């Protein structure tokens, strides 16, 4: 049996093995989380026109109370305080119920009202006039 000293060659070999092992663990972990995120993204964001619309009971469980009020009961959100007001990420806004594409971020502009405003939409919409709160707005809803 050899003495208690570790030579520089042995130390170098041990460092190499530990570094390589750590690199493999990090790469495998990163790939795992990447593919897991892609799977979740695909499950939640793909639009299938043949998929039935969930029942109101399912939507009440899935959506926050304010979201349910807006999309099913014609409610509104507090001015300048919704989660998409200052959103600068590039992407596509989709219907929270069906996943159907609605708007793209390049079409978003500040119209001086409390709602995100878009110049173009993907789907047929229905225009409504809103004269509440001493303002005259044209609101659109998905048909």
Domain ranges, ordered by start, for the chain: 1-45, 56-142
**d(C-alpha 105, C-alpha 88), whole Å:** 8
For the stretch 79-92, pLDDT in tens is 667 776 677 788 88
pLDDT tens readout for residues 98-130:
878 887 777 777 777 666 677 766 666 666 665
Please give the model's pTM, rounded to 2 decimal places. Answer: 0.47
The pLDDT > 70 percentage for the chain reads 65
Given a contact cutoff of 8 angstroms between Cβ atoms, the answer to whether 116 and 85 are in contact is: yes
pLDDT for residue 48 is more than 80: no
Tell me the CATH number of domain 56-142, given options 2.170.150.20, 3.40.50.300, 3.40.718.10, 3.40.50.2300: 2.170.150.20
């Amino acid at each position: 049996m050899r003495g208690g000293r570790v030579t520089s060659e042995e130390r170098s070999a041990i460092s190499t093995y530990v570094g390589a092992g750590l690199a493999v663990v990090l790469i495998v972990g990163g790939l795992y989380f990447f593919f897991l995120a892609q799977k979740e993204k695909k499950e939640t964001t793909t639009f299938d026109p043949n998929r039935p619309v969930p029942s109101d009971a399912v939507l009440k469980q899935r959506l926050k109370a304010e979201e349910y009020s807006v999309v099913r009961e014609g409610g509104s959100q507090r001015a300048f305080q919704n989660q998409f007001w200052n959103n600068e990420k590039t992407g596509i806004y989709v219907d929270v119920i069906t996943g159907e594409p609605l708007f793209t971020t390049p079409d978003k502009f500040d119209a001086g009202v409390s709602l995100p405003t878009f110049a173009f939409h993907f789907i047929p919409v229905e225009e409504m006039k809103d004269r509440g709160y001493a303002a005259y707005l044209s609101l659109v809803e998905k048909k």
